[in-house]
A and B are shown apart, each in its own frame.
Chain A
Amino acid sequence: MRARDLLLFVLGALEGHRLRTALSVAGVAIGIAAVVCLTALGEGARRYVTQEFALLGSNLLIVMPGRVETSGAAPWGGVTHDLTLADYVAVSRLRGVRKTAPLCVATETVKAGERSRPVPVLGTTAEFLEVRRLVVAAGEYLPPGDPTQGGTEMVLGPKVARELFPGASPLGQVVRAGAWRFRVTGVLAPRGRSLGFDLDDVVFIPVQTAMRMFNRRSLFRILVEAQEYGAMAVTRREVLALLAQRHRAEDVTVITQDALMTAFSSILRALTLALVGIASVSLAVAGVGIMNVMLVSVSERRSEIGLLKALGARNRQVLGAFLAEAVVLAAAGGVAGILLGFAAVRLFVNIYPTFPAVPPLWAVVLALTMSVGVGALFGVWPAQRATRLDPVAALSRR
């Protein structure tokens, strides 16, 4: 029997009981759609995080005071030295470093006339703009120059600018923060949330002023952009060596952007796989549904099976026909499920445009393979029952 003839015969048989066919296709479709949707969400979360890190700059090193990877009995922070502005200046002179920016953070209430708002205040230098890939919408960012010199310039995030100066240009206006007075020199373009931190709702002031204002002696972080991506490890060692030499102890932690990203990415991939596992349960249920439908089909079509045998159909042809029927059912469900899944994902993306939910190709391939596999697996037993049917008994019934 030719493959094409077999397929046409099977399609004819499926068309014979449309409702049952449609329902079992729907069962598989729901399972497959679940796989597609959940992998799209998991993969979307992974991409979202990856994108965030990419915006940070992929050759970014982050220096923080204290050793995080403390092991053994010594409690951490025993001999932690401050991460000072002098350290920052030293790091910025290293050969493998392209740009570097210090960071000193505290929350402070800022006031403009009658309006006031508690916001995170970021003390930094002009380089921060490039290191974090920020864009100025109006005016200018913090002035370049000696970081140890304070200043009274202030740059507003777009949200702060809107809140403090509704409908007016904040440029040149005076803003008070605690006991200090600043002059607004610039407003940033909207950037949105980044790693859970809303960069639209912050203000920037010169780092030295921030440290004085908050009475800090240590920086919160030093952001270092390496000269090239390939030399990240070298640059990291240089920074560590320099600070160890300056502090006479290895008391800082340098994390790379990459390590963080890889960790997040693998966690989220594991999450995605867990979601696939959950979705597979519904596929197994759909498989049992197919088995049920095929068993009904076999007992309902006893006389047809008997007839086919009387006409000289071989047992393996009968087996093939019923197996093919189950596989076609499941595969149709797979295709319908993929379409359904993509439609659902598209709907989701329309509602949450910032979330990059896209079903990954491997999930689509997996879903199709799984649906065909489910059909074959759950179709074997009913098909075997069909072949074992005694043609005489099958034909004697009407």
Chain B
Amino acid sequence: MIQLEGVWRTYRVGDSVVHALRHVSLAIRRGEHVAVIGPSGSGKSTLLHVLGCLDRPTAGRYTFAGREVGTLSDEERSALRQKSIGFVFQFFHLLPRLTAVGNVELPMLFAGVPAQERRQRALAALAAVGLAPRAGHRPDQLSGGECQRVAIARAAVMSPELLLADEPTGNLDRAAAAEVMELLEAMHARGLTLVVVTHDPAIAKRARRVIQMCDGEILEDSGALADEGGRRGAERPEGAPSAPSQSGVGE
């Protein structure tokens, strides 16, 4: 479903140039559960933003579900995010003035879903994360774990194909983190593609595939080396070289 080929993401900070991603090639199939780990500044968040079409590669190709994202207009990328991609953030990013159900309704609001349907779907999504009784609470009346569950309901309410979670447990205690991870994994079990950025090894271990990043490059990709490597190569029509970047340890 996702294919990165030789992707660079470069920022200019003052006079110096920062390479947040250096020649990253990567393929993620539908239904995978991938953890991206690495120290801070290793480019894992940038990778997530590129995957989520919030950021565009400076160089290289990014193909999402057969469409090359680099060629899409702003408008088309917004539409793609709206329909196909859900985000979960470390700081939840709930709007404090809205209730839990109001926050879950937000993506549908901008998609033009009628009010009644919006409310029904939001309540169903909240019930799915076990927060039906908290639907009328504002974020400041909810615990961190509950806030993140609201955020997950919000990410899931448009039934996306891809769920991107950036340090989803970074601000939670162990118990809440476990709950959140169980929810994310349950959604994955129902067929959603899940990419989790974390620096918690315990969280990373729960994923079937772990990608380790450092200095904007992929150090190690457990999935790529093992069972999926061959299939991924077959998926790629042009047969772009992916091996060098993934084995380029310590370059």
- Chain A residues in the interface with B (C-beta under 8 A): 1-2, 4-5, 9, 12-13, 15-16, 303-304, 306-315, 317, 391-392, 395-396, 398
Residues of A within 8 A of B78 (CB): 309, 312-315
A307 to B87, CA, bound (A): 9
Given A304-B95, A395-B93, A313–B55 Cβ distance below 8 Å? no
**Interface presence of B173 (CB below 8 A):** no
B45, B79, B81, B115: the one contacting A310 at CB < 8 Å is B81
Q: Which residues from 65 to 96 on chain B have a C-beta closer than 8 Å to any C-beta of chain A?
A: 74-75, 78-83, 87, 89, 91, 93, 95-96
Residues of B within 8 A of A5 (CB): 109, 112, 115
Q: By the criterion CB–CB under 8 Å, are B110 and A313 in contact? A: yes
**Residue in chain A with minimal CB distance to B154:** A311
21 A/B residue pairs, CB under 8 Å, sorted by A:
A1-B111, A5-B112, A9-B109, A12-B98, A12-B102, A13-B97, A303-B91, A309-B81, A310-B87, A311-B87, A311-B106, A311-B154, A312-B78, A312-B80, A312-B110, A312-B111, A313-B78, A313-B110, A314-B110, A392-B54, A395-B54
Q: By the criterion CB–CB under 8 Å, are A398 and B81 in contact? A: no
B79, B96, B97: the one contacting A312 at CB < 8 Å is B79
A179 to B102, CA, bound (A): 94
Given A315-B74, A392-B55, A1–B82 Cβ distance below 8 Å? no
Shortest Cβ-Cβ A-B pairs, 10 listed: A312-B82, A16-B97, A313-B110, A311-B107, A312-B81, A307-B93, A314-B78, A391-B54, A392-B49, A310-B87
Q: By the criterion CB–CB under 8 Å, are B75 and A314 in contact? A: yes
A317 nearest CB across to chain B (Å): 6
Residues of A within 8 A of B115 (CB): 2, 4-5
Interface residue tally for chain B (C-beta within 8 Å): 33
Q: By the criterion CB–CB under 8 Å, are A315 and B107 in contact? A: no
A111 to B60, CA, bound (A): 111
Q: By the criterion CB–CB under 8 Å, are A1 and B81 in contact? A: no
A303 to B91, CA, bound (A): 10
B197 nearest CB across to chain A (Å): 13
Q: By the criterion CB–CB under 8 Å, are A312 and B83 in contact? A: yes
Q: By the criterion CB–CB under 8 Å, are B107 and A312 in contact? A: yes
A4 to B78, CA, bound (A): 22
**Interface presence of B52 (CB below 8 A):** yes
A144 nearest CB across to chain B (Å): 81
A307 to B98, CA, bound (A): 14
Residues of B within 8 A of A4 (CB): 115
Residues of A within 8 A of B107 (CB): 311-312
Residues of B within 8 A of A312 (CB): 78-83, 107, 110-111, 158
Q: By the criterion CB–CB under 8 Å, are B95 and A311 in contact? A: no
Residues of A within 8 A of B95 (CB): 304, 307
A13 to B110, CA, bound (A): 15
B74, B89, B106, B158: the one contacting A395 at CB < 8 Å is B89
Which of B55, B87, B96, B110 gathers most chain A CB within 10 Å?
Answer: B110
A297 nearest CB across to chain B (Å): 13
Q: Which residues from 191 to 239 on chain B have a C-beta closer than 8 Å to any C-beta of chain A?
A: none
Q: By the criterion CB–CB under 8 Å, are A308 and B110 in contact? A: yes
Residues of A within 8 A of B75 (CB): 314-315
B134 nearest CB across to chain A (Å): 19
A36 to B80, CA, bound (A): 50
Residues of B within 8 A of A16 (CB): 96-97
A164 to B125, CA, bound (A): 92
B164 nearest CB across to chain A (Å): 9
A2, A13, A304, A311: the one contacting B82 at CB < 8 Å is A311
Give B4-33 as 1s and 0s: 1 = Cβ < 8 Å from A's Cβ atoms: 000000000000000000000000000000
